[in-house]
């Protein structure tokens, strides 16, 4: 599991767990990091001989009802979503009255870290967008709305896979995934919009305090996609209030950076960023089908270009014309030669005995 975000000027107390400490079958190896929503450790699963990530609430958070609710929401949501593009959870439990969760240990970097190095190629950005859509489609099918899709919550593994992280503020529509104290967040109002998402990535309906649904996650995916392709955050402004206003009013189609988006991808991208949910893709699966179709066409076109570049010289137009000319001359010479031989044979056959036909 990746290191939680660190806040400037934040000095955390020492980690609550020590190297070698056991939590059930999990043995702490080393701390990975600490943030406001949890302490993360590298641990060893002694039963299966594999390294895992162990996350616990920060010390003192057990008494915070909201922290407990968020932790429980995340573990329940992720545990129900068995998908290669979503962080996998292996176990959960309590240790000294503190809840913990055990997840797969990821190697790589967040998309946020990767974007600090610059934009991605259209092919790589589209592949990441496809994998995000795959993960979101699986979550939505289970009645889980993420509500906080952003580069910080997308992890890129060393083998090229994108993983969706942090379902801590997810809205859970599936009653089977709820408990008595686990709210689905449907009572969110505009006064709590900052809690229910991240300014710059939340959808216009979330800014207005309306209920988020699958199309809200697709708006956030579109904002991330735009950032991958252009290097510009679609709606970021100097203050949170201005950023939320930009989400409601600004059209990224009009930005100069929009020219960096390949023309064939613009329709897909800007459909995700429509202000009205009814004008967006209605499901992550629909977006995925369009993006995969573009990928297939791009691969076919690239293959055609490679084939053209790799044509041997003798098949080039000028070379073919030269070869045809040479072949024509050879055929003409052979024709003259064959004709001469034929005439010589006729003359020999017609000459009287004891005479010899003249040389051709």
Q: Say whether both 118 and 94 belong to one domain.
A: no
**CATH number of the domain enclosing 173:** 1.10.510.10
Judged by phi (left if over 0) then psi (alpha if -120 to 50, else beta), residue 351 lies in beta
Q: Which domain holds residue 45?
A: 22-104
Q: What is the pLDDT of residues 127-138, one digit of tens each?
A: 999 999 999 999
pLDDT value of residue 46: 93
Residue 259 inside a domain? The answer is yes
C-alpha torsion sign, points 41, 44, 45, 50 = positive
Q: Which of 76, 104, 132 is the last residue of a domain?
A: 104
CA distances from 32 to 29, 55, 111, 113 (A): 9, 10, 18, 16
Q: Do 90 and 127 lie in a common domain?
A: no
Q: β-pairing, 108-110 with 98-104?
A: unpaired
- The answer to whether 246 and 233 have CB atoms below 8 angstroms apart is no
User: Distances from the Cα of 107 to the Cαs of 53, 150, 221, in angstroms?
Assistant: 11, 19, 23
**Same-domain check for residues 235 and 264:** yes
Identify whether residues 281 and 212 lie together within a single domain: yes
Residue from 323, 304, 326, 303 nearest 315 by CA: 323
Greater confidence (277 vs 335) lies with: 277
**Is a pLDDT exceeding 90 seen at residue 310?**
no
Give the CA distances from residue 129 to residues 86, 139, 225, in Å, rounded to whole numbers and listed in that order.
Answer: 13, 15, 6
Mean pLDDT value of segment 57-62: 66
pLDDT of residue 35: 63
Are residue 63 and residue 120 in the same domain, yes or no?
Answer: no
Q: Average of pLDDT values for 246-274?
A: 96
Q: Which residue intervals of 47-148 are DSSP H helices? A: 65-80, 111-115, 122-141
Task: Give the pLDDT confidence score for residue 187 in this predicted structure.
Answer: 43
What's the pLDDT at 13? 42
Q: How many CB atoms lie within 10 A of CB 248?
A: 13
Percentage of the chain modeled with pLDDT above 70: 73
Residue 310 in domain = no
State how far the Cα of 195 lies from the Cα of 205, in Å rounded to an integer: 15
How many structural domains is the chain composed of?
2
113: pLDDT strictly greater than 70: yes
Same domain, 158 and 118: yes
- 329 domain-assigned: no
Among the listed residues 148, 166, 184, 217, the single catalytic one is 148
Averaged over 54-64, what is the pLDDT?
Answer: 73
In this structure, the answer to whether residues 258 and 287 fall within a common structural domain is yes
Let me know the angle formed at the C-alpha of 156 by 152 and 160, rounded to the nearest 5 degrees: 160
Confidence bin at 75 (pLDDT 50/70/90): confident
pLDDT tier at 176, thresholds 50, 70, 90: confident
CATH number of the CATH domain containing 57: 3.30.200.20
Q: Tell me, what's the pLDDT at 189?
A: 37
Inter-residue contact 287 to 224 (CB < 8 Å) = no
- What is the average pLDDT across 170-183? 70
Mean pLDDT of the chain: 82
60 shares its domain with 155: no
Q: How confident is the model at residue 345 (pLDDT cuts 50, 70, 90)?
A: low
Task: Please say whether the beta carbons of 36 and 195 come within 8 A.
Answer: no
Q: Is residue 69 part of a domain?
A: yes
Higher pLDDT, 350 or 149: 149
Q: Last residue of a domain, which of 84, 104, 124?
A: 104
CA dist., res. 66 & res. 197, Å (int): 15
Establish if 58 belongs to a structural domain: yes
What is the pLDDT confidence band of residue 182, given thresholds at 50, 70 and 90? very low
Average pLDDT over residues 177-206: 63
Per-residue pLDDT at 329 exceeds 80: no
pLDDT of residue 54: 94
80 in the same domain as 156:
no
Distances (CA, A) of 122 to 184, 241, 265, 294, 342: 36, 31, 9, 11, 69
- At which of 104, 138, 166 does a domain end? 104
pLDDT cut 90: percent of the chain above it: 56
pLDDT tens, position by position, 213-238 = 999 999 999 999 999 999 999 999 99
Span 20-30, pLDDT tens digits: 999 999 999 99
Looking at residues 184-197, what average pLDDT do you find? 48
Confidence check: pLDDT of 168 > 50: yes
Q: Distance of CA 50 to CAs 32, 53, 99, Å?
A: 16, 10, 21
Q: Is there a single domain that holds both residue 121 and residue 154?
A: yes
In a domain, 351, yes or no: no
Q: Residue 272: inside a domain, yes or no?
A: yes
Report the pLDDT value the prediction gives residue 349, as an integer from 0 to 100: 58
Give a yes or no: residue 313 inside a domain.
no
Clarify whether residues 161 and 200 are in a common domain. Answer: yes
Q: Are residues 165 and 120 in the same domain?
A: yes
**DSSP element (H, E) containing 27:** strand 26-35
SS3 101: strand
Supply the pLDDT for residue 322: 67
* pLDDT over 90 at 341, yes or no: no
Give 34's pLDDT tier (boundaries 50, 70, 90). Answer: confident
- Grade residue 247 by pLDDT with cuts at 50, 70 and 90: very high
Would you call 148 a catalytic residue per the annotation? Answer: yes
């Amino acid at each position: 599991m990746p290191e939680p975000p660190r806040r400037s000027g934040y000095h955390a107390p020492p980690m609550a767990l020590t190297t070698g400490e056991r939590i059930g079958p999990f043995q702490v190896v080393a701390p990975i990091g600490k943030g406001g929503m949890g302490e993360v450790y590298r641990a060893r699963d002694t039963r299966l001989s594999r390294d895992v990530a162990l996350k616990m609430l920060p010390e003192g958070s057990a008494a915070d009802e909201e922290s407990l609710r968020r932790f429980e929401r995340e573990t329940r949501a992720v545990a129900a979503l068995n998908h290669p593009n979503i962080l996998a959870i292996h176990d959960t439990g309590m240790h000294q009255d503190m809840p913990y969760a055990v997840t797969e240990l990821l190697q790589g970097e967040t998309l946020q870290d990767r974007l600090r190095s610059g934009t991605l190629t259209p092919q790589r950005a589209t592949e990441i967008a496809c994998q995000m859509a795959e993960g979101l489609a699986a979550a939505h099918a289970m009645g889980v709305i993420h509500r906080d899709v952003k580069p910080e919550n997308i992890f890129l593994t060393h083998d090229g896979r994108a993983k969706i992280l942090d379902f801590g503020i997810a809205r859970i529509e599936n009653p089977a995934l709820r408990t008595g104290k686990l709210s689905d967040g449907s009572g969110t109002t505009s006064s709590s919009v900052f809690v229910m998402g991240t300014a710059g990535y939340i959808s216009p309906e979330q800014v207005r305090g309306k209920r988020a649904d699958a199309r809200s996650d697709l708006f956030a995916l579109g904002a991330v996609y735009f950032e991958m392709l252009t290097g510009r955050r679609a709606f970021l402004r100097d203050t949170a209030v201005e950023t939320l206003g930009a989400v409601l009013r600004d059209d990224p189609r009009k930005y100069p950076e929009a020219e960096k988006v390949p023309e064939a991808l613009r329709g897909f991208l800007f459909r995700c960023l429509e202000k009205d949910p009814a004008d967006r893709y209605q499901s992550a699966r629909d977006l995925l089908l369009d993006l995969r179709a573009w990928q297939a066409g791009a691969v076919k076109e690239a293959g055609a270009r490679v084939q053209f570049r790799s044509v041997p010289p003798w098949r080039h137009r000028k070379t073919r014309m030269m070869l045809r000319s040479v072949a024509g001359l050879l055929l003409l010479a052979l024709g003259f030669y064959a004709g001469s031989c034929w005439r010589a044979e006729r003359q020999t056959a017609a000459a009287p005995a004891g005479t010899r036909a003249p040389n051709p």
